[in-house]
């Protein structure tokens, strides 16, 4: 551990900019700054400890995910005493969805603190959510469960967890649409193909057919995003019918 501390202390941080930035995000004073250094270290830095273990935010991301799930689950359990296991699981998934965590990471501008050999403009959206989870993991190791819980309440639960709104929130339009098609005995097909347009970044296009009729089209930088976008458009086409099924 001392080796890791020395690595991070060797970085030019004499003016305390990193400490000030972290304290501003947290709302309290961090004690062991090296945890936060790790939380903002990308694997491309290729830093290892004395035992050859990689030092980057990925393990903290795992820990932060568990802490978020624990605190959110506790809150929902107490807030909705009538909710069964399935309901609580679905609601927790909505709060800690990748899309939501990415928004939280963006709001806090966490990517501005990342140490990486990869240009920040080349990262995908998920980097924001990954950093948020890693930050939560760092808080837990640095200050314990209570501080971690307070941070999650302040940054996640109080501003964003509205039970009524969450109940109506769709996590995945594709999953919802497929489930509806299966219930209603409808055939569906996602015809995805590479879009060779003039963009610098490769795109994919998709045509979504239901009962052999094209109902929506979409284009995005990945197959998954294109399918989700097409599914969302199809959802609004069949919204009235879907709402009757569910």
Which residues, in sequence order, are CB contacts of 216 under 8 Å at separation 6+? Answer: 207, 208, 230, 231, 233, 234, 237
Largest CA distance in the chain: 65
The answer to whether the annotation marks 133 as part of a ligand binding site is yes
The answer to whether the annotation marks 79 as part of a ligand binding site is no
The answer to whether the annotation marks 61 as part of a ligand binding site is yes
β pairing state of 213-220 and 188-195? unpaired
CA-based R_g, the chain, Å: 21
Catalytic annotation present for 65? yes
**173 near 225, Cβ under 8 Å?**
no
Q: Which residues partner with 194 through β-bridges?
A: 204
**101 near 133, Cβ under 8 Å?**
yes
Catalytic annotation present for 149? no
Distance from C-alpha of 8 to C-alpha of 37, rounded to nearest angstrom: 7
The catalytically annotated residue of 133, 149, 227, 228 is 133
CA 92 to chain centre: 13
Distance from C-alpha of 4 to C-alpha of 175, rounded to nearest angstrom: 43
Environment class of residue 226 by beta-carbon count within 10 Å: exposed (0-12), middle (13-18) or buried (19+)?
A: buried
The catalytically annotated residue of 65, 149, 227, 228 is 65
**127 near 101, Cβ under 8 Å?**
no
Active site residues: 65, 133
Known binding site for Mg(2+): residues? 61, 130, 133
Known binding site: residues? 61, 130, 133
């Amino acid at each position: 551990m001392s080796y890791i501390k020395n690595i991070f202390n060797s970085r030019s941080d004499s003016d305390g900019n990193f400490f000030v930035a972290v304290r501003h995000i947290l709302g309290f004073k961090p004690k062991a700054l090296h945890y936060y250094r790790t939380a903002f270290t990308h694997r491309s830095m290729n830093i290892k400890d004395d035992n050859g273990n990689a030092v980057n935010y990925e393990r903290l991301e795992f820990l932060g995910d568990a802490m978020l799930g624990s605190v959110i689950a506790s809150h929902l359990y107490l807030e909705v005493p009538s909710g069964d296991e399935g309901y609580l699981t679905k609601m927790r998934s909505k709060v800690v969805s990748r899309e939501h965590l990415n928004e939280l990471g963006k709001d806090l501008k966490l990517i501005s603190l990342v140490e990486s050999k990869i240009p920040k403009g080349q990262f995908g959206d998920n980097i924001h959510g990954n950093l948020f989870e890693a930050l939560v993991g760092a808080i837990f190791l640095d200050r314990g469960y209570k501080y971690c819980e307070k941070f999650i309440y302040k940054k996640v639960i109080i501003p964003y967890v509205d039970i009524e709104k969450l109940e109506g929130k769709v996590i995945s339009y594709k999953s919802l649409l497929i489930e509806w098609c299966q219930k209603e005995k409808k055939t569906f097909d996602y015809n995805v193909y590479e879009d060779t347009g003039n963009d610098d970044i490769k795109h994919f296009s998709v045509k979504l057919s239901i009962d052999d009729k094209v109902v929506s089209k979409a284009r995005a930088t990945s197959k998954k995003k294109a399918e989700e976008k097409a599914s969302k458009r199809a959802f609004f086409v069949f919204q009235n019918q879907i709402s009757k099924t569910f």
